[in-house]
Amino acid sequence: MNDRVTKIRKAFKERFSGSPVVVRAPGRVNLIGEHTDYNDGYVLPVAINRDVLFAVRARADRMVDLYSLNFQARASFSLDQLEPDKEQSWSNYVRGVAQQLLREGLPLTGMEGVVEGNVPIASGLSSSAAMEVAALMAFQTLGGWEMDGAKAALLCQRAEHEFLGVRVGIMDQFISRLGKRDHALFIDCRTLEYEAIPLNARGYVLMIADSRQSRELAGSEYNVRRAQCEEAVTALQAGLPAIRALRDVTPALFLQQNWRLETVPGRRARHVVSEDDRVLRAVAALKGRRLEEFGALMNESHESLRFDYEVSSRELNVLVGAARQVEGCAGSRLTGAGFGGCTVSLVREEATGEFERHVRELYQRETGREPIFYTSAAEDGAGVVQE
């Protein structure tokens, strides 16, 4: 990251002169716990080594003047007139966060600066959450006030809901703000309680493979899956009147009551119920340093997403299948909403070269596409980049 920090500082001096403060917020990859968040369930993401950087300096007025190195574009707006910008849509994440901070009564100062990110856009690695959290860190650092990390994540989520009109869950903002190096973050999406879980994965790295397959179905099918889960809850409440969401249904209760469900909602519910159970078992496996068991749970998760939740694709299945053929790969699964995007695999460090070679070769042969690989450990969440 040092080269990127040097580059953004240089870009700031060329555009504004003087020395900025630099803040960062990372993207994320979810290790296990997919499509459980909107069912009040559990997730287990990590922050990755790709992030969004803001190099900023306070202004005496209420103007925000930003330049994006990625888009080679400028966006300027007043904190007293916050409206979406259709042309420079990247700036709407900053505007939305500013709006929410002002509603909290926080003293915001104008700022000028340069923005740069290397979280791939539209790949399922949460570039939007990284942008929101980095914007909040910029306003916080220049304003000299503090905000609890969980509250900051919720505020960024509201910004995306209300200013950008995207009904995201809480996982992405939570891990971007609260990630911890060498740890995953276990999040209860109902209570918002969270715990940093040591990965205990010395000798292993996370290999993220981008299928480069468009996720155009993800939005519409996401809404369909959500409705099917709600349908399942309504049907199950006939026998389990106390449940509020699928999170309240244990695997044993599901086996007793699933006769109440139509076939498709039943399969959707079976995924969510089993996935919540897998997350809990995955946390126990990590705490017990049982990485083989953890990898097996990743594999089970993918098969459940593939057959019960039906959010995988041929491309993702090829990537996962190729990964599992590599000796030294403990487990592999799709990550994110599905219908394209990325897979995540837990791989021994000495096997990463063979992993990339084999997966690339098989994927190209089967799909005609060239995958993109990212290697990461679990990184820290957002903060100020030290000099």
pLDDT number for residue 165: 85
d(CA 21, CA 56): 5
pLDDT number for residue 370: 95
Cut 0.85: pTM above it = yes
Mean pLDDT of successive 10-residue stretches along the chain, which has 387 residues:
90 92 97 96 97 96 96 96 93 97 95 95 86 98 95 95 86 96 97 96 96 74 91 98 98 98 98 98 97 97 98 96 98 92 96 98 97 96 90
For 105-114, give one letter per residue: b (16+ CB within 10 A) or e. Answer: eeebbbbbbb
Number of neighbouring beta carbons within 10 Å of residue 143: 16
DSSP output for 289-330: T-HHHHHHHHHHHHHHHHHTS----HHHHHHHHHHHTSTTEE
Q: Is 172 a catalytic residue?
A: yes
Q: Which residue has the tokens 């041929």?
A: 314
d(CA 33, CA 312): 15
pLDDT number for residue 216: 63
For 145-174, give one letter per residue: b (16+ CB within 10 A) or e. Answer: eebebbebbbbbbbbbeebbeeebbbbbbb
Q: Are 380 and 47 in contact (CB under 8 A)?
A: yes
pLDDT number for residue 387: 65
Q: Which amino acid is at 134?
A: A
Q: Is 91 helix (H, G, I), strand (E, B) or coil?
A: helix
pLDDT number for residue 131: 97
pLDDT number for residue 169: 82
pLDDT number for residue 379: 97
Number of neighbouring beta carbons within 10 Å of residue 234: 12
Domains of the chain: 2-198 (3.30.230.10), 204-376 (3.30.70.890)
Residue of 40, 51, 172, 308 marked active site: 172
d(CA 6, CA 298): 38
